[in-house]
Amino acid sequence: MNCLLTGANGFIGIRLAEELSSGGHTVRCLVRSPDKFRPLSGLNGVTPVIGDLGSVHILEAAARGCDTVFHLAAFAKPWSKDKSLPFRINVTGTENVLKAAHKAGVKRFVFTSSAAVIGPSPGIDPIDEEYPRSVPFFNEYEETKAAAEELVRSYSRDGMECVIVNPTRVYGPGPVNESNSVTRMISMYSRGRWRIIPGDGTCVGNYVLVDDVVRGHIQAALMGKAGHRYILGGDNITFDQFFETLADLTGKRRWLIRFPVSLMTVVARVMEWQAGITGIAPLITAPWVKKYLNHWSLSSRKAREDLGINPVSFAEGAKITLDWLRESGKA
């Protein structure tokens, strides 16, 4: 494949560029500055394109000669001082990439959305890609990703082969920051710095290793059905099971406090109030608290059957992650 990759310096994007390079594909990576390309500079067949999602002419030039576009770039943070930023990046930015790809005659377009657009699940039984969402979106990230999906589907109806992938809670080796928050939790637990269990610990979430998400992206480009979406997920487990697995793998049973929803919401609102004054982003917001205290039990059966994806268990993926954290001095 000759590919254009946006979001190339992000958590998933870096791993995807590495995998595409090792598979002999050529990759043009959209990055905002030469410094952002440094983690990718040694990869064979990988070259930088300096620009952003608002650089329409640069996007058009970058897409020319490509047969596949992987559009990963997004604004996924829980808060922004500039309230227009989520829409500008996630919706307008996606439309710009779609237009550029269409103008360049790109055959396949893989859009990275989120499983957050599909859920939450009404209970612990897994839901799939066809589940009709029954509750309002919790935050601007979900709203803008849903709007971007509609744009992608419209281009698919007009003839471009578009595939949507919806990763769940992604973790694994990579930058230990807010874009890799599950790995940060694993690191903090291992070092004795994580002290809470959200709510009563019984809410279900779906966790998937980043390597499985990367394979899902590539298989979606090669084998995904145009106009379809695919949940890229792994195990459905509760918060209690999540931390029990970490205790078993680390041999460290930490004393964790169950943090009531009401108290978490109050803390989040105080953080939001402080952010409004200081301009410093809060660690979490009230809408995100509400989101994570629902069940998010999701089925990746369609991806397994259509794309041949066989994700590892959370226990296996967490061990891979912990081993990497130890080698990196972060556990």
Judged against a pLDDT cut of 80, whether residue 78 lies above it is answered with: no
Mean pLDDT value across residues 107-113: 98
Tokens of 60: 């058009």
CA distance 101 to 244: 46
> What's the N-to-C CA distance of the chain in angstroms?
37
* Mean per-residue pLDDT of the chain: 95
Tell me 127's DSSP state: B
What is each CA distance from 82 to 87, 89, 207, 249, in whole angstroms?
A: 10, 12, 30, 41
- For 117-129, the pLDDT digits (tens) are 998 999 999 999 9
Residue 269 in this model has a pLDDT that exceeds 80:
yes
Sign of the dihedral defined by the CA atoms of residues 283, 287, 293, 297, in that order: negative
Report yes or no on 307 lying in a domain.
Answer: yes
Residue 85 lies in a domain: yes
Number of domain units in the chain: 1
Q: Is residue 41 within 8 Å of 47, Cβ to Cβ?
A: no
- Report the C-alpha gap between 108 and 130 in whole angstroms: 22
Query: Is residue 272 in some structural domain?
Result: no
Full DSSP string of 263-328: HHHHHHHHHHHHHHHH-PPPS--HHHHHHHTS---B--HHHHHHH---PPPHHHHHHHHHHHHHHT
User: 127 vs 9, 91, 236, 268, CA distance in Å?
Assistant: 31, 26, 11, 29
Strand 46-50's sheet: what is its strand order?
A: 46-50, 26-31, 2-6, 68-71, 108-112, 161-167, 229-232
The vertex-154 CA angle with 148 and 160, nearest 5°, equals 105
CB hemisphere CA count around 58 (13 angstroms) = 15
For residue 119, the enclosing domain spans 2-174+205-236+295-313
Q: What gap in Å lies between CA 288 and CA 277, rounded to an integer? A: 20
Structural domain includes residue 226: yes
Share of the chain above pLDDT 70, in %: 100
User: CATH number, domain at 209?
Assistant: 3.40.50.720
Q: Is 150 part of a structural domain of the chain?
A: yes
Specify if 35 maps to a domain: yes
Q: Is the pLDDT of residue 160 over 80?
A: yes
Residue 251 lies in a domain: no
Within-domain flag for 197: no
Rounded distance, CA 252 to CA 258, Å? 18
pTM equals 0.95
Confidence of residue 280 (pLDDT cuts 50, 70, 90): confident
Which pLDDT score is estimated for 98?
Answer: 98
